[in-house]
Amino acid sequence: MRQASINDYQGVAKDAQENFHGNQLVYIGWDKHLIFCAPICVPLPPDAPFEVIVKEILPAAYGLHPDFEHIDWSHVEWTVDQISHIPDMHKSLSQNGVGHKSVIRFVTPGLNGIGGVAA
């Protein structure tokens, strides 16, 4: 009896970029803030400026966290797909190296979660 293996799988990816009407999926996680168990995932147009993440997406997703209002955005440390990155806020996501299913993570020095639990 032959056992099936992952190499025999013939499924169609439902999260392919062409299924998101011109958008791409972008995962965003706030390190050391484990009240959020996983990165959020948002569909964004590749030509959206990076600042959309800071000015619209992050306040909507994380704005209720008590540390959020204390973020000094000039000191935030960013990674895109595990590579250290200094984003150009006015350039597009694609110009900043953000692609479909990219993972953006950010660290806020001095802010270590509620009560400093992640220090």
Residues 6+ apart with CB under 8 A from 55: none
Residues 6+ apart with CB under 8 A from 6: none
Q: Between 55 and 119, name the one with better pLDDT.
A: 55
Domain ranges of the chain: 24-116
Report whether pLDDT(36) > 60: yes
Amino acid at 28: I
* Predicted confidence (pLDDT) per residue in 55-81, tens digit: 999 999 999 999 999 999 999 999 999
CATH T-level assignment (fold) for domain 24-116: Ubiquitin-like (UB roll) (3.10.20)
Residues 6+ apart with CB under 8 A from 119: 112, 113
* Predicted confidence (pLDDT) per residue in 10-22, tens digit: 788 888 888 888 9
106 contacts 84 by C-beta, under 8 angstroms: no
List residues bridging with 78 in a β-sheet: 85, 106
Backbone CA torsion sign across 21, 18, 42, 51: negative
Q: What is the pTM of this model?
A: 0.86
Amino acid at 81: D
115 contacts 94 by C-beta, under 8 angstroms: no
